[in-house]
Each structure stands twice: as C-alpha cells, then as structure tokens.
Chain A
Amino acid sequence: MKASTVRRVGSRLASLFASLLIALSLAFLLGRLSGDPTATILGPLAPPEQREALRHELGLDLPLVVQYFDYLRGILTGDLGQSLQFYQSNTSMIADRLPYTLQLVAAGMGLAVCVGVPLGVLAATREGTWWDRAASTVALLGQSVPVFWFGMMLVVLFAVKLGWLPAGQSGTPKHLILPALTMSVYPMAHIARLTRASMSEALAEPYIDSARARGLGNRRVVWRHAFANAMMPILTIVVLQTGILLSGAVAVEYVYSWPGLGQLALQAIQFRDFPLVQAIVVFGALVFVLLNLVVDVLHSIVDPRVR
C-alpha cells in the first residue's frame, strides 16, 4: 500500500472515530439533560430518601466526568446499561430486537433499490419524455407521502378490505410484505431521484459519446459506462438510508406492531427510560460510523482514483 493511501485511510479512520466520540458524548449529555429519571420510576410523590437511594444505585450521584468515563468503558465492553422499564440488559434487548429490524430493512431497502434504480435510469435515459415525467412524478409522490399514512392506507386496503395480508405482528413472510412495502417508499423515491440526477450527469460526459462512437451497444454504454460512473452517490445514499432505518424505523414498526428497534425506541421514550434511549442512540451511532466506513471501502473499490 502506498504511503499516501495509508495516510488517507488513517485520517479517515481518525475523523470517523472523532464523529463517533462526538455522537456518543452528545447521547450521554442529552440523557442527563432530560430530567431526573428517578421521578419517572418512583413517581412524583416518592420520598427524597428513596429517590436518593435509587440515584446511588444508578450511579447518578457520581460526578458527571466519572459517569461519562463509566459510560465509555461500558460501550467498549459491550455493556450499554440496564433498562429502567424492563430490568434487563440493554445490549441483550437490542440484540433480541435487531433481527426483526434487519429483516424489515433488508426487505424494504431491497425493494427500494430494485425499483428506485431502474426507475431513475429509465428517467435519465429518456430525459424530457413522457417516461421521464412519469418516473419523476412517482418519485416525488414517494418522497411526499407520509410513511404512517401510507402504511395505514395499505392496512385498510390489503388487510381490512381485501383480507389478503395480515395487518400487523410478525412471524411469516406474509407479515413482512406490507411493512417492507411501506418502509421502501421513501428510500425508493430518494434513490430514484438521485439515480436520475447522477445518471443524467454521467450520460452528458464525453466518455459516453466516446463509448457510443466506438460502436458499443446502448445497454453497455448505459450500464457499464454511465451507471458505473453514476453509482457512487447512489451507493452512498443506499448505505446511509440503511443506517437510518436500522437505527429504528419508528413509524413503520409502530403502524404494524413490528417488534423491532423502532418499537423498542418508542417504548423507551414513552417511559423516559433514558439508559435504553441512550443505548439505542449509541447503537445507531455505531451503525452509522460502521456504514460510513463501508461507503469509504465501496468508494475505493468502485473508483480507482481514490485508492
């Protein structure tokens, strides 16, 4: 590996580590600013001695700096604290809910990519035509429709009226269809719009004319030359959207009573279970940093100029 590459990788890792530290610190501070959790757990009428005992048990009576370093040590050892609501380890609760969210995200993002990318390519290769206008309208609609409303409409139509699919819960592939469809709408629209813009830009590049002048077929020019060059922003948005959804698709999981991380986050917020909220935020930050790293690796695989 070249020295310049090592330097670039090193500086990127350092900046990702700094971002992670900032995110973790903010999660810690916001947790401490959200009020006294002992009031939520014990109720407003609890005697002060009882509250003090609980504060001691939770370590809230320690100086803030000590709490902060305990918190960081916990993250390093995989201990994200204990839930005030469920009296369980946050790490194990996240691990229990994660497979459900992963299923949903994989299905939703898979659908979003499979529809969004061809739709964007279609619009870009037929710029200014009826196809382009139709694809752009569909994409705009997908970005404008509120997710919870769209989810409820799907439930009304496919579960209540037609009775084809279950309205909620999980367990079988049939249970996955409506939540995945609901979840896919926004990222699909985003991917379609970005693909169109990125492809239009690539198709206007001289290497496209050059490839056509060499007699290459349209499919090869569009996919191998234009799409390959347009791919980086699309890959970035796919990976980052995946991150957003992985750290909790609250609306979709709420509408379909899907037992994933979004549902867990909602329960934690409603109960002011700050250790659990904090644990989910920390998990989200870790996922984001990891996915940013994935984007960097993909970028270097796709584009030899950044290796």
Chain B
Amino acid sequence: MSVLLKADGLAVTARLAGGDLRLLDDVDLEIRRGQIVGVVGESGSGKTTLARCVVGLLDRNVRVEHGSVTLAGDVVVAPGVDRTDRVRGSAVGMVFQDASRSLNPLMRVRTQLAEVLRRHVRDITRAEVRRRSLEVLEQMRIADPSRVLDSYPHQLSGGLRQRVAIALAVVTRPALVIADECTTALDVTTQTKVVGLFRTLVDELGIGLLFVTHDLMLASDLCDRITVMSGGRVVEAGDAASVLDRPQQDYTRRLLAAIPSWT
C-alpha cells in the first residue's frame, strides 16, 4: 500500500499575547491507502491541531515552524507553504465532532451535498448531482435517502446527522478522510454503527482514515495503527494491537489504566 499522508517532523506554534506556544513538536505520522490510523491523547495533546493542520484550518495566529505534510507525495503544508486549498474537500474530507453544529442549519441536506459536488466535479449535471447524492446516502446505510435528502439537519436524529456529515466528507470520493472526535457526541449504540460504517468505507473505497479520538477503546476497535500524543508530541506509535497490549511508554500505560473496567 502506497503512502497517502505523511507528516514529517511537523512543528506548529501559536503566537499569543504572552509569547509563543508550541502546539505540535516534531510530529511524524504516516497513513497508507486502506489504512485507519488513530490519533489518541487527552485534551490539549495536539491531536486536533494535527488534523486541522492537514486541511489548512489552523487559526490565523498559528503557523508551521518546520517539517511538512505531504499528500500522495505532494507537499501541501510546510513553513510558508499552504496548498491545502487544492486538496481540501476533493482529496481530503473531514468529519467534525458535533454534526448538529457542523451542518448548516438553514440548508437542506441536498443543497449541502450539491454545493460540494458542484464545487469539485466540473460540469456536473443536476441529475448527476441527485444520483450521486442518493448514492452516497445509501453508502452511509441510510434507509430512506430521498427523505433525508429533502430534510433540514434539525429534522434528523443525531446518528443520521453524523452519517450525513460523513456523506458530505466522502461524496467527492477523497483519498483521505479525517474524523475529528466525530463519535464523541453520539450514544454508544450509534458510535458502534458509525465506527462500523467507517470500517466499511475504508474497505470498500480503499481510502485512508485519520481517526482522532480520546477514546482508546474505540480506537482499538477501529484502527490498524495508533499514534499516542501528549503535549504536542508523539509519545508512542505502532500497530493498534502492540500499542494496546504492550505499551512502551508510561503515558500510554496511564491512558490505558484510566479506561473504566467492567468489574
């Protein structure tokens, strides 16, 4: 499997009134096609900054100090370089934490899907927009795609909204999808369904998935590889099984020990 996304020695700094704050420090990460890589860590560990850096959604006061992000061999992020607008939405799709707030409340699902398709698929016809919109909703295992297409986000359940958000991220058939804490706002049953959906999408479409979560158990269910982050640095990375079964670092052991047990 070829390397899809590579972060190489990435360092990101925020300029604040009190001085500079290092958000990411020498971060390395690799995702191959058909692979799911989980980035885990507690709040403030830098996992969301890493995800946002890949799609160029960093705040205005945040800049890349050194290192780079390459997508299919092309540098998209480096110091003074931001070519994320060429890949955002087309080669890279992103799913956010809370679908009830990441979907525009004033637009029907069909309008939101149509504007993404029209933006990225040249000369697409109205019929083709509808066909692909229905197709992607079916791919999301949505039972009644026509109804969902005509709905506003507030008319859908939390689970359906998150499926629509995933549909919006994959409708342009990107090579990489980034899911940033996208199961946090869901109940456990819906979480399981969404995780299953991601696995199916990766297997069927051969995409790469960067799965950002603070939930180690969820990451262990879904991911092929896991990168553990703390304080903006990668503290441990490896196959999901080896990281979870034989953690090498104290921080990872503490994270694993913090998982509530059944007994």
Contacts and interface: CB of A to CB of B under 8 A. Distances in A.
Interface of A: 128, 205-207, 209-217, 220, 224-225, 228-229, 302-305
Nearest to A220: B115
B223 to A, nearest CB: 21
A215 B104 contact: no
A209 B89 contact: no
A289 to B, nearest CB: 27
B105 A214 contact: no
A207 B101 CA distance: 6
Contacts of B103: 207, 210
B168 interface: yes
Interface of B: 55, 57, 60, 85, 88-90, 93-94, 96-98, 101-106, 115-116, 119-120, 152, 154, 165, 168-169, 172
A224 B106 CA distance: 10
30 contacts: A207-B101, A207-B102, A207-B103, A207-B104, A207-B105, A209-B102, A210-B102, A210-B168, A211-B104, A212-B57, A213-B89, A213-B169, A214-B88, A214-B94, A214-B168, A214-B169, A215-B85, A215-B88, A215-B119, A215-B172, A216-B119, A220-B115, A225-B104, A228-B104, A228-B106, A229-B105, A303-B106, A304-B154, A305-B152, A305-B154
Nearest to B55: A213
Nearest to A303: B106
Contacts of B98: 206
A213 B165 contact: no
A216 B115 contact: yes
Contacts of A214: 88-89, 93-94, 115-116, 119, 168-169
Q: What are the 4 closest A-B residue pairs judged by CB atoms, nearest first?
A: A215-B89, A213-B94, A210-B102, A214-B89
B136 to A, nearest CB: 13
A128 B15 CA distance: 14
Contacts of A228: 104, 106
Given A212-B57, A304-B152, A304-B154, A205 B101 contact: yes
Contacts of A206: 96-98, 101-102
Contacts of B104: 207, 210-211, 225, 228-229
Contacts of B115: 214, 216, 220, 224
Contacts of B55: 213
A207 B105 CA distance: 8
A216 B107 CA distance: 15
Nearest to A209: B57
Given A205-B101, A209-B96, A215-B120, A229 B106 contact: yes
| From A205, A209, A229, residue with most partner B Cβ within 10 Å | A209
A217 B119 CA distance: 8
Contacts of A207: 101-105
Nearest to A126: B60
Contact of A216 (B116, B152, B169): B116
B114 to A, nearest CB: 12
A162 to B, nearest CB: 44
B116 A215 contact: yes
A217 B90 CA distance: 13
A302 B116 contact: no
A216 B89 contact: yes
Contacts of B90: 215
A217 B120 CA distance: 11
A304 B106 contact: yes
A209 B116 CA distance: 14
B117 to A, nearest CB: 10
A305 B57 CA distance: 29
